[in-house]
Amino acid sequence: MADLVVAGAGMAGLAAAAEARRLGAEPLVLEKLGRPGGSMRLSSGVIWRHRDFETFREECPDGDERLQRLLFERLEDDLRWLESLGAPVVDRETGNPLTAGTRFDPAGLTDALVEAAGGLAPDGVRVAERLREPPGDVPLVLATGGFGADRELLEEHVSPEAGHAFLRAAPGSTGDGLRIGVAAGAATSAGLEQVYTRAMPAPPARISEGDLVRLSQLYARHAEVTNEHGESYETATWSEIDVAQWQLRQPRARAWFTVPVEHLGERVRERTVAEMVDAAEAAGAPVRREQEHVTVETVAGVTTTLGGLAIDEHARAAPGVFACGADAGGIATGGYASGLAASLVFGRIAARAALGGAAVSGTLGERP
């Protein structure tokens, strides 16, 4: 008999299950896709926070300050814990002077967490399909990765145009956590309409799961960005989250990035603009090269939803129901923060609280 049920074997669910095992409990980990890792496995693996709390608040002003404080204060310890599980570190810098964190190899990170979690339930796919409500007799941790893979929910909560977006994430996150949590009495967080997207090469480009990072078009800061009516948008953030939110609401979620040739050599983190444009062209996206400019047609690539269930500092969403990762909203609201970091920190908190521990002090108390 399991001590808790964890729905979802991505970053948040595996962190919760691994923490539960560390505390001597037996988690039952259900995964709808049958393979672990979710979007974490497809990600760049950079787990980060802002360098100072004030900047975090400024950049994500509508988030719940208590949750943000927990994330900010706990991340370093939690990163050390991940390393202690054998998750392979690629870099101890994020490559961004505004943020601090660690880059892990996503496949190795997944494997280390699966091992620490004690593996997935062998019949997890079948049970996950039937899971419509909390089991009742044991606590439930919802870690299903939000609703970015569900067109109808995107159209309902974000914009009618969001249904045209490309799914730049694993396909299992179709809002099950949101539905189960709300049915159990949970409230939704602020910012249910907010989504983190990255511009991707537009059709007929062919993009496989392994190309989601390599084909991102992250150079709005060096481009003129327009929609299909010729209306333009100028980015004001380093993460380009504002362009992302804008693009998802434009006709067919399309935007054209026009770059003056003299900006093609500019670097955005480890790549030049020219390399990103070449990659889009090689994938088959419409690219127009003129003497003075290059124009790339892009489509918004939904990476993760930022709103979800409302949680307290113990990741509690409803009686006996806990939510973490992209299933929990209210952390990056109004801006962008690391989804992997929130999943790691609140996954561990959810497990401790679900098992009756004092999440804030980090000690395990009496089991219920």
Ligand X SMILES: Cc1cc2nc3c(=O)[nH]c(=O)nc-3n(C[C@H](O)[C@H](O)[C@H](O)COP(=O)(O)OP(=O)(O)OC[C@H]3O[C@@H](n4cnc5c(N)ncnc54)[C@H](O)[C@@H]3O)c2cc1C
Q: Give which of 168, 166, 167, 146 is closest to 157, Cα–Cα.
A: 146
Q: Which is nearer to ligand X, 4 or 294 (CB)?
A: 4
CA-to-CA distance for 309 and 330, rounded, in angstroms? 8
Residue 144 binds ligand X, judged by CB under 6 A: yes
The least distance separating ligand X from the CB of residue 303, rounded to whole angstroms, comes to: 5
CA-to-CA distance for 18 and 2, rounded, in angstroms? 14
The least distance separating ligand X from the CB of residue 8, rounded to whole angstroms, comes to: 3
> H or E stretch including 74?
helix 65-84
Q: Which is nearer to ligand X, 329 or 357 (CB)?
A: 329
> Contact with ligand X (CB under 6 A): which of 31, 64, 78, 150?
31
Part in contact with ligand X (CB under 6 A); list of ranges 26-34, 152-160, 222-230, 250-258 = 26-34
CA-to-CA distance for 340 and 325, rounded, in angstroms? 7
Cβ atoms of 218 and 238 within 8 Å: the answer is no
> Contact with ligand X (CB under 6 A): which of 60, 70, 75, 143?
143
Residue 96 binds ligand X, judged by CB under 6 A: no
Residue 184 binds ligand X, judged by CB under 6 A: no
The least distance separating ligand X from the CB of residue 181, rounded to whole angstroms, comes to: 11
What pairs with residue 6 in β-bridges? 29, 141
Q: Which is nearer to ligand X, 126 or 367 (CB)?
A: 126
Q: Give which of 331, 334, 341 is closest to 94, Cα–Cα.
A: 341
Residue 338 binds ligand X, judged by CB under 6 A: yes
Q: Tell me the HSE value of 198 on the side-chain side, using a 13 A CA sphere.
A: 20
Residue 339 binds ligand X, judged by CB under 6 A: yes
Q: Which is nearer to ligand X, 325 or 329 (CB)?
A: 325
Q: Which of residues 290-319 bind ligand X (CB under 6 A)?
A: 303-304
Cβ atoms of 181 and 142 within 8 Å: the answer is yes
Phi, psi of 101 (to 5 degrees): 165, -165
Could you give the strand order of the β-sheet that contains 46-50, starting from the edge strand earlier in sequence?
A: 46-50, 99-104, 89-91
Part in contact with ligand X (CB under 6 A); list of ranges 10-18, 150-158, 231-239, 249-257 = 10-18
> Contact with ligand X (CB under 6 A): which of 145, 307, 320, 335?
145
Residue 360 binds ligand X, judged by CB under 6 A: no
Residue 39 binds ligand X, judged by CB under 6 A: yes
Strands 166-167 and 140-142: unpaired
> Contact with ligand X (CB under 6 A): which of 11, 153, 218, 306?
11
Q: Is the peptide bond before 204 cis (omega within 30 degrees of 0)?
A: yes
Part in contact with ligand X (CB under 6 A); list of ranges 33-41, 71-79, 114-122, 258-266 = 33-41
Residue 165 binds ligand X, judged by CB under 6 A: no
Residue 87 binds ligand X, judged by CB under 6 A: no
Q: Which is nearer to ligand X, 175 or 357 (CB)?
A: 175
Q: Which is nearer to ligand X, 259 or 331 (CB)?
A: 331
Residue 30 binds ligand X, judged by CB under 6 A: yes
What is the three-state SS of 280-324?
HHHHCCCEEECCCEEEEEEEEEEEEECCCECCCCCCEEECCEEEC
Part in contact with ligand X (CB under 6 A); list of ranges 5-13, 59-67, 229-237, 245-253 = 5-13
How many other CB atoms are there within 10 angstroms of residue 137's CB atom? 9
> Contact with ligand X (CB under 6 A): which of 68, 173, 197, 239?
173
Phi, psi of 172 (to 5 degrees): -80, -15
Q: Which is nearer to ligand X, 66 or 126 (CB)?
A: 126
Give the CA distances from residue 241 to residues 219, 267, 321, in Å, rounded to whole numbers and listed in that order: 12, 18, 30
Residue nearest to ligand X (CB): 10
Residues of this chain that interact with ligand X (CB under 6 A) are: 7-13, 30-33, 38-40, 42-47, 128, 131, 143-145, 168-170, 172-173, 176, 212-213, 303-304, 325-326, 338-341, 343
